[in-house]
Every structure is written in structure tokens, then in C-alpha cells.
Structure 1
Amino acid sequence: MSNQAEIVDDPAIASAKRSATIVYALQAVAFLLAVTFIAAAVVNYVKKSDVENTWVASHFRWQIRTFWFGALWVVFGIITLIMGIGYFILMGTAVWVIYRIAKGWLALMDNKPMYLDES
């Protein structure tokens, strides 16, 4: 049996993957219902200890960074709306968040960590 199959069969990994999948889904739904972006971050922090020492922890780090940097840029975009550049910042942030969700979710489905260098 290959090493990849053993990873998928591990119940702890399966549970961690389910949690990460839920977070990616909540982040995606945030484009329709913004509060789910916050709910996704809450799930990340609540389940963070469950994924420690697994390759799925890299996805949680990726998701948490997506939340905090996305939130930061949204606030900055809203503040700068009056100057006319806020719209472009908000659109750029939306594209960046979509990219992060897609890249992360695809890697998760392929049983790959988000960062190659885990040092």
C-alpha cells in the first residue's frame, strides 16, 4: 500500500481534512453571506489543536492567513473608498481570496500540504 493511501485512511487525517474542507466552503460562501468568513476563522481556531502535527495543519495556517490578510485589505479598501481607490482594492482582495480558496482546496483534495518547506 502506498504512503498516500495510508494518509487518507488515517481517521485523524480524515477528520482534519473534513474540518479544512468545511473552512474552505465557509470562506467560499462568504461571497454571498459575509459572516461565514468569520465563522470559518472560528472553526480554524477551535479545531487548530486537532490538526497539529499533520500535513493538514498547513491548510489551517493558509486559511487563517487568508482570513486575516483578507480582512485587513477589506478594511483598508473600505477606508479608501472615499478616495476612489477603495473599489480597486476591494476587487483585488476578492480575486486574491478566490485564488487562495481555490489553490488551497485543490491541494487539500490532492492530499498535499500548502507549503513545501515545513521547517
Structure 2
Amino acid sequence: MSDPVTQPQSEPGLFDPGRSNVQLIYILYLVSLVVGVTSIVGLIMAYISRGKADGWPVSHYTYQIRTFWIGLVYALIAGVLSVIGIGIILFFAVAIWGVVRCVKGLQATGRRQAIANPSTWWV
């Protein structure tokens, strides 16, 4: 008897959509509060993965992409308002907003649930 040739199972790649990829992007966003540049890596990963995904991860990738761009808009507004002093407080508010969105996303990812409204500007 001959043994059938089995194909080795390939491990998921960095840009393969799924739970671990979604979690990694949220973690990159959280690390960016300290390092800064990791959010850009997460954004690129979200754009690449969104095109390949189906099911519940699609809403997370949309949510992550919007988190980056909306956060950037909020940060620019805070930067402009720093001239009159209120922007410094707004920078903290933007950071808290980003952390809350990432934690909400991580919790939903742990339950393998989609984000209810991924296009929201709030949390």
C-alpha cells in the first residue's frame, strides 16, 4: 500500500485575515501611543487584510481603518487648538478615545463578533 502524499499545513501569514491578525492590529494601535509609528503598520495591515477577509473580521478592519483616520483628524484639530491651550487637554481625550475603541474591538474579537457600527465616529 502506498501512503498518500500529504501537503504540509501552511501557517497563516502576517496579512492573512482572521482573529490573530485583527488582534495584532489593535495591539499595534495601542503600542503607537508610546512608539508612534506602529499605527501606520497596523493601518497598512488592515487595508491589505480587509480585501481578503470575509465574515466578522471585515467589520473590524473597517473599524480599525476608520479609527486611524478619525484619530488623525481629531489629533490635527487638537494640534490647532493647542495654540489657545485647550488642545493639550484634547490630545489626552483623543488618546483615551483610541484606547477605548481598541479595547472594545479586542473584546469583540475575543468573542468572534463583528463591530455593530464600524463607521461610527464615536466609540
- Is the pair's TM-score, using the shorter chain for normalization, greater than 0.5? yes
- Deviation per CA, 1:56-78: give whole Å up to 9, x if none: 10111111111111011111111
Structure 1 counterpart SS, 2:18: helix
**Residue 21 (structure 2) pairs with residue 19 (structure 1):** yes
Structure 1 Cα separation of the partners of residues 87 and 63 of structure 2: 25
> Against the structure 1 CA distance between its residues 90 and 18, is the aligned structure 2 distance closer, same or farther, given a 3 Å change threshold?
same
1:64 aligned residue: 65
TM-score, length basis structure 1: 0.80
2:37 aligned residue: 35
- Deviation per CA, 1:77-103: give whole Å up to 9, x if none: 111111111012111111110100000
Structure 1 residue runs of 4 or more that deviate by more than 4 Å after TM superposition: none
2:107 aligned residue: 106
> Against the structure 1 CA distance between its residues 81 and 23, is the aligned structure 2 distance closer, same or farther, given a 3 Å change threshold?
same
> Against the structure 1 CA distance between its residues 37 and 50, is the aligned structure 2 distance closer, same or farther, given a 3 Å change threshold?
same
2:55 aligned residue: 54
Query: Which has a greater percent of helix?
Result: 1
Q: Where does the alignment leave 5 or more consecutive residues of structure 2 unmatched?
A: 1-11, 119-123
Amino acid at match of 2:30: A
Report the identity percentage. Answer: 26
2:91 aligned residue: 90
TM-score, length basis structure 2: 0.78
- Indicate conservation of the 8 Å contact 2:17/2:50, yes or no: no
CA RMSD of aligned residues (A): 1.9
> Against the structure 1 CA distance between its residues 69 and 112, is the aligned structure 2 distance closer, same or farther, given a 3 Å change threshold?
same
Aligned residue pair count: 104
